[in-house]
Amino acid sequence: MQFEILKKDNTSRARLGRCQTAHGVLHTPAFIPVGTQATVKAMTPEELRDMGAEIILANTYHLYLRPGHERIRRLGGLHRFMHWEHPLLTDSGGFQVFSLNSLVKVSEEGVEFQSHLDGSRHFITPEKAIAIQSALGADIIMCLDECTPYPASHEEAECSLQRTLNWSRRCRESHRASHQALFGIVQGGMYADLRRRGVETLAEIGFDGYALGGLSVGENKEIMARVIGETAPLLPENLPRYVMGVGMPGDIIQAVREGVDMFDCVLPTRNARNGTLFTRWGKMTIKNARYAEDSSPIEPECPCYTCRNYSRAYLRHLYFAEEILAFRLNTIHNLHFYLAFIREMRQAIAEDRMDGFMQDFNSRWEPSVEPERNPSLLSLPTGKRISLAARI
């Protein structure tokens, strides 16, 4: 992988970049749609590419358990398996190990866990994490790390950081495919001194890129912004910087201003399946009663397939009818919103107007207020989810 900084913003640390991988170019800042099971839910690869996606994230933990990394290798690798001939990123699976399993045993050697599918026991070492990702064949792969929980004491976070650093050394020394770029992951909880130590040690080991992990795990937005602002500028400037699992538009803007290049999050696809749509003014809950006879599109000026062809009333009907098309159309719009949002941000950096872009966004975006609000109409409970959305 080759990374080149093309332009720096005059008013912040934001920068435009270009990553050349074995399977194509990734322009940064970049939003990475999440394809946990080797698919972005409800979407075809062609649809993703047509709306501007340049890279997809697939999950090592899930693909290791089903269908198995060796099976994917025998079938030609993950790109061929999922019909995506563009850049791919796989995470290490560490976050899923800790978040999906109550019976986890962590040691300096690795982590033992129970499959959430059939209860079988597995043991993943740093070497095995790299071997799995090598078999999958992604262009960017991640070191095995221990995701520090929140809250954690300084002592707990320091112990977790040291384990992650030890595992990172072993990942760096493990064999991987020649085309694969390996990213180190900075842990350290919410403590500035530990994050700094993590950056310095990982930089000494030497990686192709660096990620900030252990964020969006329960801390408030002020703490998350502080950690990113303190840590991102410490990362090597000439390599890509990646914040894992952070995906609200406002949070992305703040992180880009601190020099972050890459983001991934399930928010656009998961929210779509739960009836929440992203617009330029805020989040729209399509379940609300006021949309029952609303013939307008989600966003009148949005050029996505959903907005060009379907009304709010129809999308609400599909949702309550538990039709699969509801998830398809909602997901198309949300991903289009995110990918257009990141393209507009890149344009703002190119034109040295990142401050204006942020101010314009903040003046419009009201996360708790529906667009075209009509307080005279009652809405259905926003926490209700239909059964099919939970099953997918």
> Mean pLDDT for the chain?
93
Q: How confident is the model at residue 94 (pLDDT cuts 50, 70, 90)?
A: confident
Same domain, yes or no: 227 and 203: yes
pLDDT band for position 388 (cuts 50, 70, 90): very low
Are 248 and 127 members of one domain? yes
End position of a domain, from candidates 250, 265, 280: 265
In terms of residue numbers, what domain contains 386?
Answer: 271-391
Angle among Cα 142, 146, 151 to the nearest 5 degrees reads 130
Residues 97 and 246 in one domain: yes
Over residues 68-87, the pLDDT tens digits come to 999 999 999 999 999 999 99
Q: Are residues 225 and 244 in the same domain?
A: yes
Do residues 237 and 358 share a domain?
A: no
Last residue of a domain, one of 245, 265, 285: 265
Q: Is pLDDT above 60 for 376?
A: no
Are residue 172 and residue 295 in the same domain, yes or no?
no
What's the rounded mean pLDDT across residues 334-338? Answer: 98
Helices 354-364 and 324-350: crossing angle in degrees, nearest 10, is 140
With a cut of 50, say whether residue 273 has pLDDT above it.
Answer: yes
Angle between the 312-320 and 324-350 helix axes, to the nearest 10 degrees? 130
Per the confidence metrics, is the pTM higher than 0.85?
yes
What is residue 98's predicted lDDT score, i.e. its pLDDT?
A: 77
The verdict on 250 and 284 lying in the same domain is no
> Are both 235 and 368 inside the same structural domain?
no
Per-residue model confidence as pLDDT tens digits over 145-195: 999 999 999 999 999 999 999 999 999 999 999 999 999 999 999 999 999
Residues 86 and 156 in one domain: yes
At 368, is the pLDDT very low, low, confident or very high (cuts 50, 70, 90)?
low
Calpha distance 10→7 (Å, rounded) = 9
Q: Which residues of 55-64 are buried (b: 16+ CB within 10 A; e: fewer)?
A: bbbbbbbbbb
Number of folded domains in the chain?
A: 2
pLDDT at 96: 86
Q: What pLDDT score was predicted for residue 371?
A: 64
Instruction: Give the tens place of pLDDT for each residue, 186-233.
Output: 999 999 999 999 999 999 999 999 999 999 999 999 999 999 999 999
Closest CA to 215 of 207, 224, 204, 206: 224
Same domain, 237 and 318: no
Buried b vs exposed e over 372-386: b needs ≥16 C-beta within 10 Å? eeeeeeeeeeeeeeb
Q: Both 36 and 138 in a single domain?
A: yes
Name the band, by pLDDT with cuts 50, 70 and 90, for residue 367: confident
245: phi > 0 → left, psi -120 to 50 → alpha, else beta; which? left
Span 303-313, average pLDDT: 98
pLDDT at position 331, please?
98
> 208, 230, 265: which is the final residue of a domain?
265
Q: Which residues are catalytic?
A: 91, 264
Rounded mean pLDDT, 235-260: 97
Domain CATH number, residue 40: 3.20.20.105
- 252 and 304 co-located in one domain: no
